[in-house]
Structure 1
Amino acid sequence: MKKVAPWLVDLLLVILFCVIGRRSHDEAILTGLLKTLWPFAIGLALGWIAVRVLASRGAGDRPIDGIALWPTGVLVWLGTLCGGMVLRAISGQGTAASFIAVAATVLALFLLGWRAAVTALR
């Protein structure tokens, strides 16, 4: 469970990001959530894959620290943001500059923020 917990926290926060976005635009949350979520969920998975690849090329069998801000948090954040935006663009969903700025900020606050808080409390 310890290995899965950071990924689950990230996933829940990405879902929360999508729910807040849909709610702030008065869009149906439950019926449209999957449409908003899937690009960012795949981006999140890509970020975690990048973390695994980096760890496997690093110090051998060193375990991945899912709570570390660097490199885990940054790679997960960038994967979620960039992967999500690319997939949104490919699928014809909006990628206005203002949306990218808001998404970058909120996802950073969520995906890096919880890691910073846990690290500070350690």
Structure 2
Amino acid sequence: MIRVLGAVADVLCVLVFVVIGRSTHEGVGGVLDVGSTAWPFLIGLVVGWAVSRAWVRPFVLWPVGVCVWVSTVVVGMVLRAVSGQGTAAAFVVVAFVFLGFALLGWRGVVALVRR
């Protein structure tokens, strides 16, 4: 159950990032629009989970959370570039900051609550 909660929390972080970004720039759109923006980051999230073996300890901030965060953004941006989607410098910075705050933030809250 803990593994599922960790995965759901991470996916929600990515989806919130996408929905906020889309609503700010071009309107949220439908499920397909959100999916077309989210898929590169969701694949990056899966890569981060695989590399860090996040399913073992999904709530750990270091190294799991950091690996998931960096993988989500880096792999997401590479896939966006390869698929012809935008990777403007400002967008990369916003993605790193927002996803870092979100993906590390919920883990930090869990760590504080557990103490």
Q: Secondary structure, in 3 states, of the residue corresponding to 2:3?
A: coil
1:26 to partner: Cα distance: 2.9
Equivalent runs, 1:107-118 vs 2, <5 Å = 107-118=99-110
Question: Which residue matches 1:39?
Answer: 40
Q: Secondary structure, in 3 states, of the residue corresponding to 1:65?
A: coil
TM-score (norm 2): 0.92
AA partner of residue 36 (structure 2) = K
Question: Which residue matches 1:91?
Answer: 83
Contact 2:19 2:28 in 1 (8 A): no
Question: Which residue matches 1:58?
Answer: none
1:32 to partner: Cα distance: 1.0
Q: Secondary structure, in 3 states, of the residue corresponding to 2:76?
A: helix
Q: Secondary structure, in 3 states, of the residue corresponding to 1:94?
A: coil
Q: Pick from 68, 71, 74 the counterpart of residue 76 of structure 1.
A: 68
Question: Which residue matches 1:102?
Answer: 94
1:27 to partner: Cα distance: 2.6
- CA distance in 2: counterparts of 1:34 and 1:2, whole angstroms: 26
- CA distance in 2: counterparts of 1:121 and 1:109, whole angstroms: 17
Question: Which residue matches 2:111?
Answer: 119
Please identify the structure whose Cα radius of gyration is greater: 1
Structure 1 residues not aligned, in runs of 5+: 56-62
1:51 to partner: Cα distance: 1.0
Equivalenced residues, count: 113
Equivalent runs, 1:17-28 vs 2, <5 Å = 17-28=17-28
Contact 2:6 2:58 in 1 (8 A): yes
1:13 to partner: Cα distance: 1.1
- Once structures 1 and 2 are overlaid, which stretch shifts more, 101-110 or 19-28? 19-28
Query: Runs (4+) of structure 1 moved beyond 2 Å?
Result: 26-29
Structure 2 residues not aligned, in runs of 5+: none
